[in-house]
Structure 1
Amino acid sequence: MRIDYLSKVSAAVSAFFAPPHFHLSSGKASVKELVPAKSVAIIGAGAGGASTAYYLNSFLEQPPSRRSVDHSITIFEQSDKIGGRCAVFKVRDAGQHKDHFVEVGASIFVKVNHHLVDAAKEFGLKTKPLDNELVAIWDGKRFVFEESQWKFWSILKGLRRWSLSPIKLQQLLKKTVGDLLEYYKSPEAFDSIADFARRFNLEKAAAVRSSDFLRDAGIGDLYSHEVVEVATRVNYGSNLDEIHALGALVTMAADDALQIYDGNFQIFEGMVAKSKANVRLDTKVARVRKLRPENEGGDHRFEVTTTSGQRKIFDAIVIASPIHSSNIDFDIDLPPLPKASYRTVHATFVRGHVNPAYFDAVSAENFPSHILTTNSGDAEFTSLSIQLKLSNGETVTKIFSPKPLPLELLDRLYSNRTWVKHKEWKAYPRLKPLDTLVQQPNADQSSEQKQQFVLGASWQKKHEPAPAETAWGKVEVVPGVYYVNAFEPLISTMETETIAGKNVARLVRDRLLGHCAVERIKS
Structure 2
Amino acid sequence: MRIGYLSKVGAAVTAFFTPSTFQLSGGANSPKELTPTKSVAIIGAGAGGTSTAFYLQQLLEPEGKPLNKHKLLYPTTITIFDQSDKIGGRCQVFFTTNPANPEKNLPKEELAIEVGASIFVKVNHHLADSAKDFGLKVKELDNELLAIWDGDEFLFVESSWKFWSILKGLARWGFAPIKLQRLLKSTLDGLLRFYTSPESFTSIHDFATSHDLHKEASILTDQYLESNGIGLAYSQEVIEVATRVNYGSNLDDIHALGALVTMAADDAQQIEGGNFQIFEGMVAKSGAEVRLETKIARVRRLEPQVAGDEPQFEVTTTTGQKQIFDYIVLAAPIESTNIDFDISLPPLPKVDYRTIHATFVRGHINPSYFYTPSSPVRSSQPSANQLPTHILSTKSRSEFTSLSIQARLSTGETITKIFSPEALSIDLLDRLYVNRTWVKHKEWKAYPKLKPIPLAEDPSEPEIVLEGESGASASSEQVVFEKHAKKQKAKEENDAQRKALEAWGQVEVVPGVFYVNSFEPLISTMETETIAGKNIARLLRERIEGHCPVEKITRK
TM-score (norm 1): 0.87
Percent identity for Structure 1 against Structure 2: 66
Instruction: Determine if the alignment matches structure 1 residue 92 to structure 2 residue 124.
Output: no
After TM superposition, the structure 1 stretch with the greater mean CA deviation from structure 2, 274-283 or 357-366, is 357-366
Q: Partners of 2:421 and 2:460 in 1: how far apart?
A: 45
**Residues 360 and 67 from structure 1, CA distance in 2 versus in 1: closer, same or farther, beyond 3 angstroms?**
closer
**Residues 63 and 195 from structure 1, CA distance in 2 versus in 1: closer, same or farther, beyond 3 angstroms?**
farther
Partner of 1:370: 390
Q: Which has the larger radius of gyration?
A: 2
Q: Partners of 2:31 and 2:300 in 1: how far apart?
A: 37
Q: Alignment partner of 2:144: what SS?
A: coil
Instruction: Determine if the alignment matches structure 1 residue 74 to structure 2 residue 79.
Output: yes
Aligned pairs (5 A) from 1:33-72: 33=34, 35-62=35-62, 68-72=73-77
Partner of 2:353: 342
Instruction: Determine if the alignment matches structure 1 residue 282 to structure 2 residue 287.
Output: no
Partner of 1:471: 503
From 391, 414, 421, give the equivalent of 2:410. 391
Q: Deviations for 1:190-238, whole angstroms, at most 9, x for unmatched residues?
A: 0001111111100000000000111111100110000000000000000
Q: Partners of 1:108 and 1:301 in 2: how far apart?
A: 39
Q: Check conservation: 1:510, 1:517, Cα contact below 8 A.
A: no
Partner of 1:503: 535
Q: Which amino acid aligns with 1:109?
A: F
Following superposition, the deviation at residue 62 of structure 1 comes to 2.7
**Residues 501 and 299 from structure 1, CA distance in 2 versus in 1: closer, same or farther, beyond 3 angstroms?**
same
Q: Check conservation: 2:82, 2:295, Cα contact below 8 A.
A: yes
Q: Check conservation: 2:83, 2:292, Cα contact below 8 A.
A: yes
Q: Check conservation: 2:62, 2:550, Cα contact below 8 A.
A: no
Partner of 1:409: 428
Q: Which amino acid aligns with 1:36?
A: P
From 64, 83, 86, give the equivalent of 2:88. 83
Aligned pairs (5 A) from 1:133-212: 133-212=144-223
Q: Partners of 1:441 and 1:370 in 2: how far apart?
A: 51
Q: Which amino acid aligns with 2:204?
A: I
Structure 1 residue ranges, 4+ long, deviating more than 6 angstroms after superposition:
22-25, 64-67, 440-443
Q: Deviations for 1:114-171, whole angstroms, at most 9, x for unmatched residues?
A: 0001100111101010001111000010111111111111111111110110110011
Q: Deviations for 1:168-194, whole angstroms, at most 9, x for unmatched residues?
A: 001111111111111110111100011
Partner of 1:11: none
From 205, 220, 224, give the equivalent of 2:231. 220
Instruction: Determine if the alignment matches structure 1 residue 493 to structure 2 residue 513.
Output: no
From 367, 378, 381, give the equivalent of 1:356. 367
Q: Which amino acid aligns with 2:37?
A: A
Q: Check conservation: 1:209, 1:241, Cα contact below 8 A.
A: yes
Q: Check conservation: 1:64, 1:519, Cα contact below 8 A.
A: no
Following superposition, the deviation at residue 58 of structure 1 comes to 1.2
Q: Partners of 2:459 and 2:295 in 1: how far apart?
A: 45
Structure 1 portions without partners, runs of 5+: 1-21, 444-466
Q: Deviations for 1:356-403, whole angstroms, at most 9, x for unmatched residues?
A: 000016122421000000011x11000000000111111000000001
Q: Alignment partner of 2:96: what SS?
A: strand
Q: Which amino acid aligns with 1:375?
A: K
Q: Partners of 1:365 and 1:64 in 2: how far apart?
A: 52
Q: Partners of 1:514 and 1:308 in 2: how far apart?
A: 35
Q: Which amino acid aligns with 2:426?
A: L
**Residues 329 and 25 from structure 1, CA distance in 2 versus in 1: closer, same or farther, beyond 3 angstroms?**
farther
Q: Check conservation: 1:54, 1:272, Cα contact below 8 A.
A: yes
Q: Deviations for 1:271-324, whole angstroms, at most 9, x for unmatched residues?
A: 001111110010000000000102011100000000000000000000000112
Instruction: Determine if the alignment matches structure 1 residue 101 to structure 2 residue 133.
Output: no
TM-score (norm 2): 0.82
After TM superposition, the structure 1 stretch with the greater mean CA deviation from structure 2, 182-191 or 508-517, is 508-517
**Residues 301 and 441 from structure 1, CA distance in 2 versus in 1: closer, same or farther, beyond 3 angstroms?**
closer
Q: Partners of 2:28 and 2:222 in 1: how far apart?
A: 66
Q: Which amino acid aligns with 2:253?
A: E
Q: Deviations for 1:99-120, whole angstroms, at most 9, x for unmatched residues?
A: 1110001000000000001100
Q: Which amino acid aligns with 2:273?
A: D
Q: Partners of 1:62 and 1:516 in 2: how far apart?
A: 12
Q: Check conservation: 1:471, 1:489, Cα contact below 8 A.
A: no
Give the RMSD, CA atoms, in angstroms. Answer: 2.3
Q: Which amino acid aligns with 2:91?
A: C
Q: Partners of 1:489 and 1:390 in 2: how far apart?
A: 39
Partner of 1:256: 267
From 403, 409, 429, give the equivalent of 2:448. 429
**Residues 405 and 23 from structure 1, CA distance in 2 versus in 1: closer, same or farther, beyond 3 angstroms?**
farther
Structure 2 portions without partners, runs of 5+: 1-25, 66-70, 101-106, 373-380, 463-498
Q: Check conservation: 1:128, 1:258, Cα contact below 8 A.
A: yes
Partner of 1:235: 246
Q: Alignment partner of 2:135: what SS?
A: coil
Q: Partners of 2:268 and 2:124 in 1: how far apart?
A: 10
Q: Which amino acid aligns with 1:138?
A: W
Instruction: Determine if the alignment matches structure 1 residue 314 to structure 2 residue 325.
Output: yes
Q: Check conservation: 2:202, 2:506, Cα contact below 8 A.
A: yes
Q: Partners of 2:242 and 2:337 in 1: how far apart?
A: 30
Q: Which amino acid aligns with 1:495?
A: E
Q: Which amino acid aligns with 2:197?
A: S
Q: Alignment partner of 2:189: what SS?
A: helix
Q: Partners of 1:39 and 1:156 in 2: how far apart?
A: 58
From 513, 517, 527, give the equivalent of 1:481. 513
Q: Partners of 2:456 and 2:332 in 1: how far apart?
A: 25
Following superposition, the deviation at residue 85 of structure 1 comes to 0.6
